[in-house]
Chains A and B, each alone.
Chain A
Amino acid sequence: MRRIPRLRRPSGLPSTTTNVSRTTIQIQCRHPSCQRQRPTVTTFSTTFSPPSLNRLYSSDRQQTPASSSAPAQEQIQELQPRVADEIISAETGESLDWADEGLTAAREGPYGAPPQRVEAARENDVADPSYLPATTAEGLRKVGGLADWWYRPDNWDVTGDFISFRPREKVVDPVLIEAAVRRAVVEALALREVGSDDELVAVWPMAMSKSDLLGLLNWDVKGTEDGRVTLGGDPSAVAEGLRWKDEDTSAGSDDLAETLTSEEVSALAETWHPSWKTISLTDPRIRFAVTKRVFQLTGQLVPDHQLPSTTTVQALLRVLKKPPKSATLNEEIQKRHPDLLELPNVTVAAKRVTRGDKEKALGRFKIMQEEFKKRDIPGLGHGYARKGKEVRRLKGGT
């Protein structure tokens, strides 16, 4: 009988490997310890920006001054106390506190329900003879509806977010991937050495202090010719750490929140014995444990059809380190073939260069628009034909 894990247990159906039966999932408090091992994500593929030199067309995305919304806010702040004074419960004579801050949730768990509906007293029921009900919306404060209720941070706490087995951000840095693979291999082999084979397919906690992790990665792992592996460390301590604890140990430690950086790992990786990459993964149980752990740590999943060919650590690393395919040709050229950008007769554009873009690049577009205006011709597109005519007709428009 395996233990029921408590920390950062991915939500889902009852696992067959851990005899837990639940119908609804328990959202557990996102304790700092739950987040501490979230891997560092490098952003070389996501924060990609093409050099502006290659642009042939002008862009509408200019820097806009951020002060445009300031007057509106001032007006609201000015209006707020006045209106709030007016909204007074007829029976109690007390000011309703939700009127000051709009609709606020009465939250007990991570999700907050809206307050109970309050009906204003009818004109006849108000004791004050000078009371005059509003007949238009002019001057009344807008409290807001429930349309984006769950998207307001007050009503949906981050502790209520869905927790998956896969980390939220995928690790794409090859160095960090290699570190995760080494950690997974050492952990799996340690469990095998200790003799707890059942634990190989269970869920392992991610929390580990940085010093412990560095120590683990620093083990002198060697693969020998005859397929045996020397771990160079104490496997029982690692195996103990891979068990889910019912009690939350080492809570609130800052050391756990730290993650390894790419530089630290690459400095460490130079000391690793190269034979660790020849460690065999032919045992399906070990391979399953390693790939599962790597998926949990990095979000990198080895596709099923590549599993049979990942017989060594080296093969696994090759699969995982393969950079993702570029989404666009432009991205591919910028990243992988920068030499093409140097060619004198080649221009690379991020999106299709249209007739208008060419005119804009020449500076002729504004002149053309002025001339169009003089002749009462639409400057952009066809003024007479609207888009989506068919769609409008389908929706009942004429």
Chain B
Amino acid sequence: MAARGARGLNEAMKSLSLASHTCRDAASVRRYSTPILQDMLFIHSSANLDGWLDPDTVDDICALNGHRSSPADHNHKHQLPFSIQHSLETRFVSFPATVPVTIFNFPSYEPQRLESWSSKHLYLPLRRDILHLAVVYEGDNTRQGSANSKTRYEVHGSHKKIRRQKGTGLARVGNKQSPMRRGGGKTFGPKPRDFGTKITRKVYDLAWRTALSYRYRRGELVVCQDGMELPMPAEFETLLQSGRLSESAELEASFRAKWVKQVLDTNGWGRQAGRSTFITSSRRDDLFDALGLVPNWGRALDVSDVDVKDLLETGRIVVERDALMHMIESHQSDIIPKIFVTNAALPSRAVSGEILVE
């Protein structure tokens, strides 16, 4: 019986391993088992290459070079034509340690500076699973969990027996608070509780930088210079000081609303472009007040109010450089070792913000 069971289990496992591949998975398995990728994974056994390797590109290179992969030459990386190895090395092996980031002026959108940021900060591969974990974690911890209902022992009133047990011809009843009666207590009702869940800190920190990297790679991360604020035109300030707008507060507010709409629309950040999230290192009154008037154009957040979900919402993130640096520095526990290393030959920690062009 046991032998039969074991045989059956083995067979089941075998069939599972075959059937668990959908067509798409099977294709990717085939692709990743081409000698080129074996070769590359050999070179970068420590690197996480999920986002770097595009199977189509590899196939293209194979096709270009007339190379046919077969299961037989999996472990013969030296049989690779040199051209493939060469093209792969130039394309993949030298993946960047840093990526360029343009620093813009705000709100004029003028490129002012080019900086190099670590690719461990802004060029991580997309991990949807980790982003999902982080967003669910945040959602759980945001739940108020204050729903409350009264049990029969908390409902107000006398606990006197409503009528005597026998002799009335009616059903026997206890007190008024019985869950069976109208106005009675709730048997298994909601009670205040904490819905919060936990997440590994390194995973959460990775999610932060993954979200920023995702935005960066899509060209939706606009980094602006420090001191982001929405200045109002000088003529408007003059009007305000002269007191000619003092009769109506809505007149001033509607001016601010029109101005911020115009700024966002001109820069391609507005409602037509899917709104924008503006993140600054502290509250900027003009910017925050103006954006509060036009919620369909964008939202402004202090960096302390930002979480991963905010980074994934709206059309783009317009972030102050200081705030971006703060977000990254406070979320890199997974890449900073806790031990002190004195060996200078070892790679140092990821550094961002070096100026390339100014």
CA distance A147 to B254 in the complex (A): 8
Are B111 and A164 closer than 8 Å at their CB atoms?
no
Q: How far is the CB of A297 from chain B (nearest CB, A)?
A: 13
Binary interface encoding of chain A residues 100-118 relative to chain B, with 1 for a CB under 8 A from any of its CBs, else 0:
0000000001110110110
- Which residue of A has the minimal Cβ distance to B247? A117
- Which residue of A has the minimal Cβ distance to B243? A113
CA distance A113 to B109 in the complex (A): 29
Are B259 and A146 closer than 8 Å at their CB atoms?
no
Binary interface encoding of chain A residues 356-372 relative to chain B, with 1 for a CB under 8 A from any of its CBs, else 0:
00000000000000000
Q: At the interface, yes or no: B356 with Cβ under 8 Å from chain A?
A: yes
- Which residue of A has the minimal Cβ distance to B237? A24
Report chain A residues within 8 Å CB of B234: 24-27
Binary interface encoding of chain B residues 237-259 relative to chain A, with 1 for a CB under 8 A from any of its CBs, else 0:
11100101101101100110011
Q: How far is the CB of A53 from chain B (nearest CB, A)?
A: 29
Pick the contact of A284: B99, B221, B227, B357 (CB < 8 A): B357
Q: Tell me how many residues of A have a C-beta within 8 Å of chain B.
A: 51
Report chain A residues within 8 Å CB of B357: 201, 284-285, 288
Pick the contact of B110: A15, A25, A147, A303 (CB < 8 A): A15
Report chain A residues within 8 Å CB of B217: 305
Report chain B residues within 8 Å CB of A149: 251, 254
Are A164 and B258 closer than 8 Å at their CB atoms?
no
Binary interface encoding of chain A residues 153-190 relative to chain B, with 1 for a CB under 8 A from any of its CBs, else 0:
00010001111111010100000000000000000000
CA distance A253 to B356 in the complex (A): 40
From B112, B114, B232, B255, residue with most partner A Cβ within 10 Å: B112
- Which residue of A has the minimal Cβ distance to B250? A146
- Which residue of B has the minimal Cβ distance to A23? B231
Q: At the interface, yes or no: A78 with Cβ under 8 Å from chain B?
A: no
CA distance A165 to B106 in the complex (A): 10
Report chain B residues within 8 Å CB of A291: 111
Pick the contact of B219: A151, A164, A305 (CB < 8 A): A305
Q: At the interface, yes or no: A276 with Cβ under 8 Å from chain B?
A: no
Q: How far is the CB of B282 from chain A (nearest CB, A)?
A: 15
- Which residue of B has the minimal Cβ distance to A150? B258
Binary interface encoding of chain A residues 328-347 relative to chain B, with 1 for a CB under 8 A from any of its CBs, else 0:
00000000000000000000
Stretch at the interface among A6-14, A64-72, A267-275: A6-14
Q: At the interface, yes or no: A57 with Cβ under 8 Å from chain B?
A: no
Q: At the interface, yes or no: A383 with Cβ under 8 Å from chain B?
A: no
Q: At the interface, yes or no: A99 with Cβ under 8 Å from chain B?
A: no
Pick the contact of B231: A11, A117, A146, A295 (CB < 8 A): A11
Report chain B residues within 8 Å CB of A16: 112-113, 225, 358
CA distance A110 to B358 in the complex (A): 35
Q: How far is the CB of A282 from chain B (nearest CB, A)?
A: 13
Q: At the interface, yes or no: B56 with Cβ under 8 Å from chain A?
A: no
CA distance A168 to B109 in the complex (A): 12
CA distance A163 to B356 in the complex (A): 28
Q: At the interface, yes or no: A203 with Cβ under 8 Å from chain B?
A: yes
Q: How far is the CB of B57 from chain A (nearest CB, A)?
A: 13
- Which residue of A has the minimal Cβ distance to B357? A288
Are B100 and A307 closer than 8 Å at their CB atoms?
yes
CA distance A295 to B219 in the complex (A): 14
Report chain B residues within 8 Å CB of A163: 108, 266
Q: At the interface, yes or no: B228 with Cβ under 8 Å from chain A?
A: yes
Binary interface encoding of chain A residues 287-309 relative to chain B, with 1 for a CB under 8 A from any of its CBs, else 0:
01001100100010101111110
Report chain A residues within 8 Å CB of B259: 162
Report chain A residues within 8 Å CB of B247: 114, 117
Are A203 and B101 closer than 8 Å at their CB atoms?
no
Are B109 and A166 closer than 8 Å at their CB atoms?
yes
Are B356 and A162 closer than 8 Å at their CB atoms?
no
Q: At the interface, yes or no: B235 with Cβ under 8 Å from chain A?
A: yes
Report chain B residues within 8 Å CB of A24: 231-234, 237
Known contacts A27-B234, A151-B258, A308-B100, A146 near B251 by CB under 8 Å: yes
Q: At the interface, yes or no: B268 with Cβ under 8 Å from chain A?
A: yes
Q: At the interface, yes or no: B204 with Cβ under 8 Å from chain A?
A: no
Are A110 and B231 closer than 8 Å at their CB atoms?
no
Q: At the interface, yes or no: A230 with Cβ under 8 Å from chain B?
A: no
Pick the contact of A150: B108, B231, B255 (CB < 8 A): B255
Known contacts A27-B233, A284-B357, A164 near B266 by CB under 8 Å: yes
- Which residue of A has the minimal Cβ distance to B233? A27
Binary interface encoding of chain A residues 191-212 relative to chain B, with 1 for a CB under 8 A from any of its CBs, else 0:
0000000000101000000000
Are A166 and B358 closer than 8 Å at their CB atoms?
no
CA distance A111 to B247 in the complex (A): 16
Binary interface encoding of chain B residues 262-293 relative to chain A, with 1 for a CB under 8 A from any of its CBs, else 0:
11001110000000000000000000000000
Q: How far is the CB of A113 from chain B (nearest CB, A)?
A: 4
- Which residue of B has the minimal Cβ distance to A288? B357
Report chain B residues within 8 Å CB of A165: 105, 108-111
From A109, A156, A164, residue with most partner B Cβ within 10 Å: A164
Report chain B residues within 8 Å CB of A161: 262
Are B111 and A110 closer than 8 Å at their CB atoms?
no
Pick the contact of A17: B100, B112, B233 (CB < 8 A): B112
Report chain A residues within 8 Å CB of B140: none
CA distance A19 to B72 in the complex (A): 66
- Which residue of A has the minimal Cβ distance to B268? A166
Query: Can you sample 9 A-B contacts with CB below 8 Å?
Result: A25-B233, A27-B233, A114-B244, A114-B247, A162-B263, A170-B268, A304-B99, A304-B216, A305-B219
Given contacts A114-B248, A146-B254, 19 further A-B contacts (CB under 8 A): A11-B108, A11-B231, A16-B112, A16-B358, A17-B112, A111-B255, A113-B239, A150-B254, A160-B233, A161-B262, A164-B107, A164-B109, A165-B109, A166-B109, A166-B267, A201-B112, A288-B111, A292-B110, A304-B99
Query: Could you tell me which A residues sit within 8 Å of B by CB distance?
Result: 10-13, 15-17, 22-27, 109-111, 113-114, 116-117, 146-147, 149-151, 156, 160-166, 168, 170, 201, 203, 284-285, 288, 291-292, 295, 299, 301, 303-308
User: Which 3 residue pairs spanning A and B have beta carbons closest together?
Assistant: A12-B108, A303-B219, A10-B108
